[in-house]
Amino acid sequence: MADHRLPRQHPLRSPLCKLPFSLLILALITSSISNPSGTASAFNLTTITFDQGYSPLFSDFNIDRSPDDKSVRLLLNRHSGSGIISSDYYNYGFFSANIKLPSDYTAGVVVAFYTSNVDMYEKNHDELDFEFLGNIKGKPWRFQTNMYGNGSTSRGREERYRLWFDPSKEFHRYSILWTPVKIIFYVDEVPIREAVRNEAMGGDFPSKPMSMYATIWDASTWATNGGKHKADYKYEPFASEFTDLVLEGCPVDPINQLSATNCTQAAAKLEAADYSVITPDQRRAMSWFREKYMYYTYCYDSYRYPVPPPECVIVPSEKELFKESGRLKEAMKMKFGGHRKHRHGRRSSRRQSGVQQAAM
């Protein structure tokens, strides 16, 4: 069982210690807790089985489904990575899973959970992603989120963070909300990033139907400390587990963009859901996370963007932590133990990487 103790400046008192760590953050930053029983409400989600929503993407032999079909393990070994894809394309949606990452030494191993339509729109694809960047045992896990619209890979909107828990010890929920007006990335019930659409973004806001993907693959050339630490296959197989799968949205034909239901109604349902509104408590939790655990953001990278992209909200308490490169100031790096040199180029396709590896 993972150690869920907060830092010493935040002592736990019963009955809050019964809560998942991420919900404790929400509870402890709240001035009063409305539910004295010690429970906290999570999102109201309907989960599905693998067959109800997903299909193998590549390397079926490295995909291990549970007997009840409610969970799936994706494996990476010296022969291949593996991946799954949603059976449908979605015109907006909420995509979520409880995920446990590979344990022990996982440098060079990338686990990705993301939406994309690169197979349909190779030169102008949309994408929203979580990418977990491998790890050296004993070091904090690092991950990134990104957003592409209409092939805007040259204007990548990546942010990088470390986690406040060990994601290989137990499951945590990672979620992406994508509506016509906003995008929110969640870790458990903590919103870690929000992008609100405005007209100045133009096609940079993802707007074409996308599928949901989950993959594991060897990214030794760049993932962990800029490629300094590579995958070591004496630890194979590397396994990432996915359970409590959620696909909520409007399934569509990606070519004709026709749906069996009314996507206007589906979008309205998404906007009315509890995960579509960031509460004041969640807003404070997001500020806590971003000021304590984010170590790069494109919004403060004035070398790349002398004028911040239109969706950026400049928060003074955040901005003062970062240099003009968008990286943490030297004084702030001490609490992170150093960071890899940031890359700005487009990454190779996760599907391509997995297929290439499978062919080795």
What residues are labeled active site?
127, 131
Torsion of CA 41, 90, 57, 108, to 10 degrees: -60
CA distances to 4, 74, 106, 224, 358 from 232, rounded to whole Å, are: 30, 17, 8, 12, 17
User: Residue 333: left (phi > 0), alpha (psi -120 to 50), or beta?
Assistant: alpha
| 17's tokens | 């210690």
| Rounded-to-integer distance, Cα 93 and Cα 271, Å | 10
Start-to-end CA span in the chain (Å): 38
Burial code of 71-89, b = ≥16 C-beta within 10 A, e = fewer? bbbbbbbebbbbbbbbebb
How far is it, in rounded angstroms, from Cα 194 to Cα 295?
17
CB–CB of 192/145 below 8 Å?
Answer: yes
Which residue from 105, 225, 204, 102 is spatially nearest to 160, judged by alpha carbons?
A: 225
